[in-house]
Amino acid sequence: MRIALIGTDTDCGKTTVACALLRAARAVGVRALPFKPAASGPSGAEADPERLAAAARLPGLTAADVCPQRFVAPVAPGLAEPGGTDMVWNTWREGQAASDGGPLAAARAVLAGLEARYAPTLTVIEGAGGLWVPMPGGTWLPAWISAMRAAPVVVGRLGLGTINHTLLTIAELGRIGLPPRGFFLSETRASDDPSRAHNERVITAASGLPCLGVLAFGTGEQDGEWLRPRAWERLLGLA
């Protein structure tokens, strides 16, 4: 089973949720493999691929395995590669179907190899930024979700504004034929924002989707107490 964590924006807590999910998986005996097909920005211990590899604790798994395509510039992966801006612009302007070749095909091959090597119960694929993000090869993130046959799960930032951002992302995924399995909310910074108390209930009522977990800032990452009941059944496609 593959899931794709789709953020409502950049810095909404996708990597933090992914790492917490990997740790929680170990606690319940679920073998989980992280994968981030493309990333941009500085490397180092606090970069997304390194954090994912460390959280997975799979023998021999490195950040290079987790993320086969990395770019230095801190912009969307599809804009960071040489000539990427023109490729993305032409694809959008001309309405071309995203190609399943090039960088996307390479990423799929890497992922298949990792799954053969580790035989995971669950593969956690982390996207880049939000939903409509330019990706390598003149493609866009939705094409990668579809090509990797991953069930989308939305990750929103807990707090003021997340109802709008999360519902828009859920609606757009449904519109393009990639209905999400549920959503997570992540508190990305300490705050006394009163809107946090209403986010989960309103989003669930408006979308009909279950909240799979709410990750509070700086807590709950070592176990699965932040996950909602039956979250694993949803994530594993059993409910």
Catalytic residue positions? 36
Cβ neighbours for 56, distance < 8 A, ≥ 6 positions apart? 22, 32, 33, 34, 66
Measured from the Cβ of residue 127, the count of other Cβ atoms closer than 10 Å reads 23
* Cα 166 from chain centre: 14
Question: Residue 5: enclosing H or E segment and its boundaries?
Answer: strand 2-7
Q: Could you give the residue ranges of the DSSP H alpha helices within 4-74? A: 14-27, 48-56, 63-66
Closest Cα partner for 65 from 5, 107, 23, 124?
Answer: 107
Whole-number Cα distances in Å, 86 to 83, 138, 148 = 6, 8, 25
Rg (CA), the chain: 17
Q: What 3 state SS string does 87-138 have? A: HHHHHHHHCCCCCCCHHHHHHHHHHHHHHHHHCCCEEEEECCCCCCCEECCC
In b/e form, how buried is each residue of 175-194, taking b as 16+ CB within 10 angstroms?
eeebebbbbbbbbeeeeeee
CA distance 118 to 135: 26
